[in-house]
Amino acid sequence: MADRRQVLRIGALAAGAPAVLGATGAPAEAAPHRPGRPPSLVIGHRGASGYRPEHTLASYELAARMGADYIEPDLVATKDHVLVARHEPEIGGTTDVASRPEFASRRRTVILDGVSVTGWFTHDFTLAELKTLRATERIPRVRQHNTLYNGLFEVPTFEEVLQLRERLSRELDREIGVYPETKHPTYFRGLGLELETPLVRALRRHHLDRHDAKAFVQSFEAHNLESLHDDYKLRAPLVFLTSATGGPFGDPKSYAEYLTPAGLRQLARYADGIGPDKNQIIPRRADDTLGTPTALVRDAHAAGLKVMPYTFRAENQFLPADYRIGTDPAAYGRAIDEQVTFLRTGIDGLFTDQADIGVLARQLAFVPA
């Protein structure tokens, strides 16, 4: 069996994050091969959002330098129809807009996918106006260290993310993948700011509209993916995101229905994979400890779909109870071990806020026994 300490030492040097090493101490278990299967992908969720304010070029760059295979921009539109990287159209939670008196009058309430949301919205700002704002940490009480970077970074355009990807791919001598998500596509279409056209144009401009491109386009709305495939003729691989409850906005079909064996086979006509909530792969028990894997990985693979769940985060408050260390919700728990457990269910990749931990977990999960 490979020496876990050796694997960790190498991984930590690559990641430059020695603090991770002190956060886990579980004994190594058997480490099976994945014969005939490519390595699981490490997807830098919102970049390296565990270490930098999310969806900034600094966050994406750090994720790539930590070894992420893909960087993940969530995409929304500005008033002048430019795609920018934000998790949602409301920007009060991730920028300094609330402290900018010149934009105070832009605060308003909208109905977003049936929910009333109050704040400032990308679609009320031109790109030039948005560029005067600076990113801030979304969860400062959990990631106080990230507040160090508040005020330093712009909101990037999708074009800037794609250019960064190309520059880093050259510098690191490996192709960094990009995993864009259309956020609330029905909502933006209703505003006359549909996401599909600028997305497809950008991917084509950067030679990523190929089935073998190092790119995945993801959405929580299946009809959005179906339209990208059938109407926009997008050939980049598509991934359908699912939640443990509910269904896509405006869609009578629930996520659970999409994930039945028959539903997965239908999905495979236009999609290449699914991105489930990780609890749909291994649900938690009533006491919040990790339970037993579902059949979802097997069923999705039987339909020819990859499985790349979200979101793996190192802090105790996001971990199953049996993977926490101590009682501080912001302290790191046994995140590497959680990810190893999930990787051994056969998943094809995972979204993580701490790309360095994803890389280490993959090393531990699949080194030769």
**Could you say whether residue 255 binds ligand G3P (CB under 6 A)?**
no
CB neighbourhood size of 96 (10 A)? 16
Give the DSSP letter of residue 84.
E
Q: In terms of CB distance, is 45 or 134 closer to ligand G3P?
A: 45
Q: In terms of CB distance, is 282 or 364 closer to ligand G3P?
A: 282
Give the DSSP letter of residue 106.
G
Q: How far is CA 117 from CA 8, 77, 114, 127, 201, in A?
A: 44, 17, 9, 22, 30
By Cβ distance, which residue is nearest to ligand G3P? 310
Q: In terms of CB distance, is 74 or 209 closer to Ca ion?
A: 74
Q: In terms of CB distance, is 90 or 181 closer to Ca ion?
A: 181
User: Exactly one of 121, 310, 318, 332 binds ligand G3P (CB under 6 A); which one?
Assistant: 310
Give me the least distance between CB of 204 and Ca ion, in Å please: 22
Beta strands at 177-178 and 238-242: parallel, antiparallel or unpaired: unpaired
**Could you say whether residue 353 binds ligand G3P (CB under 6 A)?**
no
User: Exactly one of 67, 275, 349, 358 binds ligand G3P (CB under 6 A); which one?
Assistant: 275
- Tell me the C-alpha distance between 60 and 40, whole Å: 19
Give the DSSP letter of residue 176.
P
CA dihedral 325, 326, 329, 330 (to 10 degrees): -70
**Could you say whether residue 65 binds ligand G3P (CB under 6 A)?**
no
Q: Burial-class residue 111 by CB neighbours within 10 Å (0-12, 13-18, 19+).
A: exposed
User: Exactly one of 142, 200, 203, 241 binds ligand G3P (CB under 6 A); which one?
Assistant: 241
**Could you say whether residue 218 binds ligand G3P (CB under 6 A)?**
yes
Q: In terms of CB distance, is 254 or 311 closer to ligand G3P?
A: 311
Token duo for residue 11: 């991984």
Asked if 352 and 313 count as a contact pair (C-beta separation under 8 A), the reply is yes
Which of ligand G3P, Ca ion, none does 351 bind, CB closer than 5 to 8 A by kind? ligand G3P
Closest by Cα among 182, 219, 181, 191 to 110: 191
Give the DSSP letter of residue 345.
T
**Could you say whether residue 147 binds ligand G3P (CB under 6 A)?**
no
**Could you say whether residue 74 binds ligand G3P (CB under 6 A)?**
yes
* Residue 312, strand partner residues: 352
Give me the least distance between CB of 216 and ligand G3P, in Å please: 10
Closest by Cα among 4, 45, 39 to 21: 4
Q: In terms of CB distance, is 8 or 281 closer to Ca ion?
A: 281
Give me the least distance between CB of 51 and Ca ion, in Å please: 17
Residues of this chain that bind Ca ion (CB under 5 A): 74, 181
Give the residues lining the site for ligand G3P (CB under 6 A).
Answer: 45, 74, 87, 181, 218, 241, 275, 310-311, 351
